[in-house]
Amino acid sequence: LGSGARQAPYPPGPKPRPIIGNMLDFPTEEASRTYTEWGRQFNSPILHVESLGNHVVILNKREDADELLEQRAKLYSDRPTVPIFKLFGWEYNIALMPYGEEWRQHRRVCQQNFNPQAAKQYETIQMEKTRQLLRGLLDAPKEFEAHSKLFSIGLAMSMMYGYEVKSIDDPVIAVAEEGNILAARLIVPGGSLINIFPFLRHIPPWVPGLPSRRKAMTVRQLNDEMMRIPTDFVKKSLAEGTAVSSLVTDFYEKKYAVGASQEEEDIIRNVAYTVYGAASDTTISSSGTFFYQMVTNPEIQKKAQAELDRVVGLRRLPTLEDRGSLPYIEAIYREMLRMRPPVPLSVPHRSSEDDHYKGYLIPKGATIFPNIWAMTHDEEVYPDPFTFKPERFFDAEGNLNNDDRILAYGFGRRVCVGKYVASGSMWLMIASVLACFSIKKAQDEEGNEIEINHDYHEFGLMRYVQATLVFSQSFLTFMTRPFRIEVASSNSNVQPVFDLLPSRS
Ligand code: HEM
C-alpha cells in the first residue's frame, strides 16, 4: 500500500494489548461458546484476534463460512501448520496436510473409497459392529461407555485394516487413545498456544501448558505404533491366509498380485492412519451425545420407537435400507449433530492470500475457525437452539425438511471426506439401539431416579459428554424393550430380536 492509502481494517474483536496483542484473550476452554459471545459483544459475526503477527479469524455465521470457505475455496483450503507437527509425525495426517499436490492425491484416494457409492461397501461392517454394541449393552449394560468406545474404534479398525478389536484393553486402542489425548490437547488455542504462536516452541519445556520435547517424542512414538501395529497385522494375516477385506488388506492383495508403487503404499497407509483417528473420536463423541439426549428426552425415544415398530416391525432389526422410511430417526441424527457438533470449531483452515470481505481485510496466513457450534445455535436459523428437538427438521406437512446439510462435517474442499460413512454408522447405531432398548436414568434404593450431570467438556478440538463424571456408569440403565420378548414368547414364529445378535466372545 502507498503511504497515503489506508489498509482495510481487520474484522472486529477484543482490543489488542501492546506487544502481546490478544495473547491473553484466546479462550482456554469452551472456545466455541466464547467466540459466540464475542460475536454478540462486538456485534459482528466475523471476528479477529491477533498476536505477534499471528492472525485468527472466527466465522460465526454459516453464510460467511459458505462464502469464504466454499465460494472462495481456492484461497481458504490450506491448513495452519507449525514445524512441531513434523516432530509428532503428523505430516501423515491428511486433515493437517497443507493444501497442495500431496494433499490432493490423498484426498482423491479418500474420495474413491468413501464416496456415497463406495461407502456402501462398509455396510456389512457397520451392521456387525452395531450388533456387537447391542449385544454388549444387553449383557453388560453398565459398561455402556466401553461398548460405545469399542463400537467407534472397532468400526474404524475393521474398515481400514480388517482388524477385530475385541476389547478396549486392546493395545491398539491404548496407543490410539493416548496419542489422541495428547494430540487433541495440543492442537487448539488454549490447548497449546504453540499452534498459534510457533515461536513458543523456543520456550523452555518446563513452562506450564507447553508440550515438552518429551511429550513430543511420546506423540511421535505413539503415532508410529498406531501406523505400524495394524499394518503389520494386515501383512501377517495375508501371509497366513486369514486376512479379511479392508482398505489396507485389499491394497496389499493388489500389490502382491500386480504390484504397486511405494507412493501408493504410503498414501494408503496415511489414509488408514488418518481415518482411524478421524473416525474414532468423532463417533465416540456422537454416541455420547446420543445416549445423553435419549436419557434426558424419554418422549423423543418413545416417538422414535413407535416409528421403528411401525416401519420395521418386531421381527427384525433395522438396516440401512430402512433409512428412507424412518424420517424421525433421521431427524434425531440431524439434531444430535446440530446440538453437539463433535468438532465445534471444525479443523481450522488457513488463508493463502490477503483477501477482502465485507470491508475487512483477512490477511494471508490467518487461521480461520468456522465456529460450527455458533452456526448450529444461531437463533435465527434454529429457534430455541438449546432444546433437543428433532421436530425442527420437519415441515408443516410433516415431511422431513431440506435442511440436510450437516454443518458438523465442516466446509469447502476440506469438508469431512468420511461423512457418508460416518452418517451410515451413526444412523444405524441410533436406529438399532432404540429398536432394542429404552435408555433410562438409574434409580436409587428408594426407586427415585438418580439425576445425571449435564456437563459436556471441550477437549482439544473435540467436544464430549464428560465421560466418567457425567455418565458415572450406574447412572444409566438400558431396559430391553419388553414387548419384543413378549411377542417372541407368545408367538413361536417370531424369533426374539436378541437371538439375532451375536453372542459376546
Ligand atoms: C460424526 C462423525 C464425524 C464428524 C462430525 C467429522 C467432522 C469432521 C470435520 C469438522 C472435519 C474438518 C472439515 C473442515 O476442515 O472444514 C473433518 C475432516 C476429515 N474427516 Fe471427518 N468427521 C467424522 C467422521 C469421519 C469418518 C468416519 C471419516 C473416515 C471414514 C472421517 C475422515 C475425515 C478426514 C480424512 C478429514 C480430513 C479432510 C481434509 O482435510 O481434506 N471423518 N471431519
For 228-267, the DSSP string reads HHHHHHHHHHHHHT-----HHHHHHHHHHHH---HHHHHH
Whether 337 contacts 406, CB under 8 Å: yes
Q: What strands, in cross-sheet order, belong to the sheet with 54-59?
A: 46-51, 54-59, 367-370, 349-350
Q: Which of 227, 204, 211, 324 is nearest to 273 (CA)?
A: 227
Residue written as cell 457397520? Answer: 126
- Which residues, in sequence order, are CB contacts of 15 under 8 Å at separation 6+? none
Would you say the CB of residue 304 lies under 6 angstroms from ligand 1?
A: no
Whether 223 contacts 96, CB under 8 Å: no
Whether 72 contacts 64, CB under 8 Å: no
Which sign does the torsion angle of CA 66, 327, 396, 382 carry? negative
pLDDT tens readout for residues 401-438: 999 999 999 999 999 999 999 999 999 999 999 998 88
For the chain, state the CA radius of gyration: 24
pLDDT tens readout for residues 51-78: 877 899 999 999 999 999 999 999 999 9
For residue 359 the three cell numbers come to 470491508
Check whether 48 has a pLDDT greater than 60.
yes
Better-predicted residue by pLDDT, 283 or 394: 394
What 8-state DSSP symbol labels residue 314? S
Q: What is the pLDDT of residue 69?
A: 98
For residue 268 the three cell numbers come to 494408503
If you measure from the C-alpha of residue 372 to the centroid of ligand 1, how many angstroms do you get, rounded to a whole number? 13
Residue whose CA is closest, atom 28 of ligand 1?
Answer: 418
Would you say the CB of residue 197 lies under 6 angstroms from ligand 1?
A: no
Residue whose CA is closest, atom 18 of ligand 1?
Answer: 416
The annotation status of 416 as a binding-site residue, yes or no, is yes
If you measure from the C-alpha of residue 460 to the centroid of ligand 1, how many angstroms do you get, rounded to a whole number? 15
Mutate which of 416, 419, 423, 427 for ligand 1 pocket (most atoms within 8 A of beta carbon)? 416
Check whether 498 has a pLDDT greater than 60.
no
Q: What is the pLDDT of residue 492?
A: 43
Residue 205 pLDDT grade (very low, low, confident, very high; cuts 50, 70, 90): very low
Query: Mean pLDDT throughout 333-340?
Result: 96
Q: What is the pLDDT of residue 500?
A: 56
Query: Mean pLDDT throughout 33-37?
Result: 94
177-181, 186-190, 417-421: the lowest-pLDDT one: 186-190
Q: What is the pLDDT of residue 83?
A: 59
Mutate which of 76, 161, 409 for ligand 1 pocket (most atoms within 8 A of beta carbon)? 409
For residue 132 the three cell numbers come to 456387537
Q: What is the pLDDT of residue 203?
A: 47
Would you say the CB of residue 368 lies under 6 angstroms from ligand 1?
A: no
For residue 273 the three cell numbers come to 492412519
Q: Where are the beta strands (DSSP E) in 405-469?
A: 437-441, 456-459, 462-465
Q: What is the pLDDT of residue 59?
A: 98
Would you say the CB of residue 336 lies under 6 angstroms from ligand 1?
A: no
Q: Which of 327, 339, 326 is nearest to 293 (CA)?
A: 339
What 8-state DSSP symbol labels residue 207? S
Check whether 503 has a pLDDT greater than 70.
no
If you measure from the C-alpha of residue 7 to the centroid of ligand 1, how many angstroms do you get, rounded to a whole number? 36
Please tell me the distance from the alpha carbon of residue 69 to that of residue 294, in angstroms, as a whole number: 34
Would you say the CB of residue 96 lies under 6 angstroms from ligand 1?
A: no
Would you say the CB of residue 282 lies under 6 angstroms from ligand 1?
A: yes
pLDDT tens readout for residues 103-143: 999 999 999 999 999 999 999 999 999 999 988 888 887 78
pTM of the model: 0.89
If you measure from the C-alpha of residue 301 to the centroid of ligand 1, how many angstroms do you get, rounded to a whole number? 28
Residue whose CA is closest, atom 31 of ligand 1?
Answer: 418
Q: What is the pLDDT of residue 434?
A: 93
Mutate which of 126, 152, 269, 282 for ligand 1 pocket (most atoms within 8 A of beta carbon)? 282
Q: Which of 277, 148, 186 is nearest to 225 (CA)?
A: 277
Q: Which amino acid is present at 482?
A: P
For residue 464 the three cell numbers come to 464430549
Check whether 82 has a pLDDT greater than 60.
yes
Main-chain phi, psi angles of 370, to 5 degrees: -75, 120
Average pLDDT, the chain: 84
Whether 352 contacts 78, CB under 8 Å: yes
Whether 45 contacts 34, CB under 8 Å: no
Please tell me the distance from the alpha carbon of residue 378 to that of residue 392, in angstroms, as a whole number: 13
Q: What is the pLDDT of residue 186?
A: 58
Give the nearest ligand 1 atom to 415 CA.
Answer: 13
Q: Would the ipTM clear 0.85, i.e. be above it?
A: yes
Provide the β-strand partners of residue 459: 462
Q: What is the pLDDT of residue 482?
A: 42
Share of the chain above pLDDT 70, in %: 80
If you measure from the C-alpha of residue 103 to the centroid of ligand 1, how many angstroms do you get, rounded to a whole number? 14
Query: Mean pLDDT throughout 154-166?
Result: 93
Would you say the CB of residue 343 lies under 6 angstroms from ligand 1?
A: yes
What 8-state DSSP symbol labels residue 494? S
Share of the chain above pLDDT 90, in %: 54
Check whether 236 has a pLDDT greater than 60.
yes
Please tell me the distance from the alpha carbon of residue 260 to that of residue 262, in angstroms, as a whole number: 7
Q: What angle do CA 489, 491, 496 make, to 5 degrees?
A: 55
Would you say the CB of residue 347 lies under 6 angstroms from ligand 1?
A: yes
Give the nearest ligand 1 atom to 97 CA.
Answer: 40
Please tell me the distance from the alpha carbon of residue 394 to that of residue 402, in angstroms, as a whole number: 9
pLDDT tens readout for residues 106-115: 999 999 999 9
Would you say the CB of residue 176 lies under 6 angstroms from ligand 1?
A: no
Give the nearest ligand 1 atom to 96 CA.
Answer: 40
Whether 416 contacts 410, CB under 8 Å: yes
For residue 496 the three cell numbers come to 426374539
Give the nearest ligand 1 atom to 271 CA.
Answer: 35
Would you say the CB of residue 114 lies under 6 angstroms from ligand 1?
A: yes
